[in-house]
């Protein structure tokens, strides 16, 4: 909440200051978030009605600017066609201008762009701003992996929480109860229930790592290996998600993996979604068409997260000497870069992974 100036004279007849929201990102998930948030701000007295959405400007085949079309039609015709966003959503191609008056910042861009975006926003946001990340991914630096929420907090000097979950998001994880409830208000609808929790690292890693497992599931689908094989890959993937997370952050809780952001989101992503879809096509083509080519052809400007995340996870595993402990994560990366054929996704299972025993009685067998 905005800080109170104790030296100012308070007029009891004045309404408390309202929260103003900007969404930084306008892809499929960013547009869905804009629709959810706009439906709530217009009803809640504590929020300004208007929701700004920063749009990376593009020229459509018609010659029109994407921002102009969104503001004219109230629809993101490229990334969420056929869905009205709400008359109170305003698209803005100017990043700095879009955040100028906002004190609630919703980050929802591909993770590989976040460091550059944060650098542009340094000194441009309000002192009382709060942030939330809907971004799945992490930055890998020399000193180790950096979660996106941590990147935002460190570069912008703001408190940042995360929101992840099945079929886009169902769980919000925070360590500040008052602000947590404000975010819950902003996102919750009768068909989109959000609840707060404190395991920030666990939730963010669930949202990040499930895309790597979805790539593996796509390979299985592309090779027509059947549902039993796919279920086995998903089970092993969940084990590796848990072990990797707890090795990086001892604070990660076992029960997080049974929440919406864990097993539910993993199942949803492995049954559908862009990562599984492109990995299936990659395997059907015997790995002869690159993921860059398939992304450009199949996703209409959206970005794959699983392939880049697999590379980042591989870099961490190699640096830490953990490659043998995570055969699925390792194999996914090796297939993505062409060092192994897609069929290796099941062949690796002949070698028992050397899992450290982390966690308590709820650890996976």
Q: Contact at 8 Å (CB) between 34 and 53?
A: yes
In eight-state DSSP terms, residue 351 is: S
Of 234, 230, 293, nearest to 266 by C-alpha is: 234
Out of 35, 210, 242, 253, the active site residue is 210
Question: Which residue ranges are tagged as binding site for NAD(+)?
Answer: 25-30, 56, 113, 169, 274, 303, 305
Question: Which residue ranges are tagged as binding site for substrate?
Answer: 136, 274-275
Q: How far apart are CA 310 and CA 313, in angstroms?
A: 5
What DSSP assignment string belongs to 224-287?
T--HHHHHHHHHHHHHHHHHHHHHH-TT--GGGGGSIIIIIHHHHHHHSSHHHHHHHHHHHTTT
Question: Which residue ranges are tagged as binding site?
Answer: 25-30, 56, 113, 136, 169, 274-275, 303, 305
Q: Contact at 8 Å (CB) between 95 and 107?
A: no
The residue whose two tokens read 């290796």 is 344
CB atoms closer than 10 angstroms to residue 124:
13
Of 245, 217, 251, 270, nearest to 326 by C-alpha is: 245
Q: How far apart are CA 158 and CA 149, in angstroms?
A: 10
At 300, list the tokens. Answer: 């209409």
Confirm whether 210 is a catalytic residue: yes
At 345, list the tokens. Answer: 């996704």
Q: Contact at 8 Å (CB) between 23 and 30?
A: yes
- Which residues are marked as active site? 210
């Amino acid at each position: 909440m905005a800080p109170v100036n104790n030296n100012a004279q308070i007029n009891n007849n004045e309404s408390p200051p309202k929260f103003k929201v900007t969404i930084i990102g306008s892809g499929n998930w960013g547009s869905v978030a804009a629709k959810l948030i706009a439906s709530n701000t217009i009803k809640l007295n504590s929020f300004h009605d208007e929701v700004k959405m920063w749009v990376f400007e593009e020229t459509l085949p018609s010659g029109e600017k994407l921002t102009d079309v969104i503001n004219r039609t109230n629809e993101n015709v490229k990334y969420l066609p056929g869905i009205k966003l709400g008359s109170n959503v305003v698209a803005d191609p100017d990043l700095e201008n879009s955040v100028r008056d906002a004190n609630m910042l919703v980050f929802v861009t591909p993770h590989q762009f976040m460091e550059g975006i944060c650098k542009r926003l340094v000194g441009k946001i309000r002192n009382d701003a709060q942030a939330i990340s809907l971004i799945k991914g992490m930055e890998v630096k020399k000193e180790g992996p950096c979660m996106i929420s941590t990147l935002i907090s460190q570069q912008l000097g703001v408190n940042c929480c995360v929101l992840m979950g099945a079929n886009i998001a169902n769980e919000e994880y925070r360590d500040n109860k008052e602000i947590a409830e404000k975010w819950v208000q902003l996102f919750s609808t009768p068909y989109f229930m959000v609840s707060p929790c404190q395991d920030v690292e666990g939730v963010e890693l669930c949202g990040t790592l499930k895309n790597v497992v979805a790539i593996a599931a796509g390979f299985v689908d592309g090779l027509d290996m059947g549902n039993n094989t796919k279920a086995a890959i998903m089970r092993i993937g969940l084990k590796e998600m848990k072990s990797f997370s707890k090795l990086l952050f001892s604070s990660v809780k076992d029960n997080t993996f049974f929440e919406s952001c864990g097993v539910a989101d993993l199942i949803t992503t492995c049954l559908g979604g862009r990562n599984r879809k492109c990995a299936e096509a990659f395997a059907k083509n015997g790995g002869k068409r690159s993921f860059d080519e398939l992304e450009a052809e199949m996703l209409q400007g959206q970005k794959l997260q699983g392939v880049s995340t697999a590379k980042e996870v591989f870099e961490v595993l190699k640096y830490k000497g953990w490659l043998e402990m995570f055969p699925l994560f390792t194999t996914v990366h090796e297939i993505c870069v062409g060092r192994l054929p897609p069929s290796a996704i099941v062949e690796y299972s002949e070698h028992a992974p050397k899992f450290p025993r982390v966690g308590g009685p709820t650890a996976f067998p």
